[in-house]
Amino acid sequence: MFNEGRKGKKIKCDEENDMLKSHLGFQKTTNKVSIGRRLTKSLLKRKIFIQVILSCLLGVAMYYGVNTSLSVLVGTMILFIVIQVIAYGLGLGEMNTLSIQPHSQLFVEFDDSGIHYVDNKTFKERIKYARDVLKGKEQLHHVHYDQIDHVQVQKVTRFMKIPGSNLATEMNTYDYYFQLKDGKTYNLINAMILQDDGQKIDTILNQYIQNKQENK
């Protein structure tokens, strides 16, 4: 009875953790096979929450370490948040041990009919897209598989620095280049591939894309 109780409690905790991760946008943000990670309301809220916490910590550090003026505290917090918003709008990438993307908004989702992606090229478009995500009104581009001319998959060896040290680890990453029949291109450089989506992506491309080019 005691073991069963502990087991039941563990299952309940695992379910709660899964619900928490789903709500906050950890790991995959949708149940679709994807290259990159789609920006969802839960993920964006988590990003905003983290930036607010960081701005508060920076403001407190400035308040106690440099100047005891309350205006410095508030000004530092506001300035940090403004810089983050501007960086997001300019399309500056997120650099970490998992991904070095031109911009974290970029992704491709696959379904039975084709691909879905977002194509925000300007500051205004990126800010508007983030605002639409918070409202739950974001719109994605959809392209049928027969409208894709070819897809090039390139394997690239990159070196990712381990946080907190000067060590770097070698990683095999993939770049995806989509060429559409209307002349448009959509590229995902070292995009984040989560869970077992890598094998599923390869299967989908082999099944639906007649002209698939691989450089491994």
Q: How many CB atoms lie within 10 A of CB 172?
A: 9
Contact 148, 178 (CB under 8 A): yes
For the chain, give the mean pLDDT.
78
- pLDDT surpasses 50 at 133: yes
Give the mean pLDDT of 167-185. 88
Q: Which of 87-101, 119-133, 160-174 has the lowest mean pLDDT?
A: 87-101
Residue 160's DSSP bridge partners are 169
Nearest alpha-carbon partner for 109 in 101, 100, 118: 118
| Distance, C-alpha 133 to centroid of its chain | 14
Whole-structure pTM value: 0.71
Contact 105, 126 (CB under 8 A): yes
- pLDDT surpasses 80 at 67: no
Contact 100, 93 (CB under 8 A): yes
Nearest alpha-carbon partner for 84 in 110, 53, 61: 53
Q: Which helix (H) or strand (E) holds 49?
A: helix 41-65
Compute the half-sphere exposure of residue 8: CA atoms within 13 Å on the CB side of its CA.
Answer: 5
Q: How does strand 114-117 pair with strand 108-110?
A: antiparallel
- pLDDT surpasses 60 at 22: no
pLDDT at 5: 45
Please tell me which residue, 110 or 26, carries the higher pLDDT value.
110
Report how far apart the first and last C-alpha atoms of the chain are (Å, whole number): 54
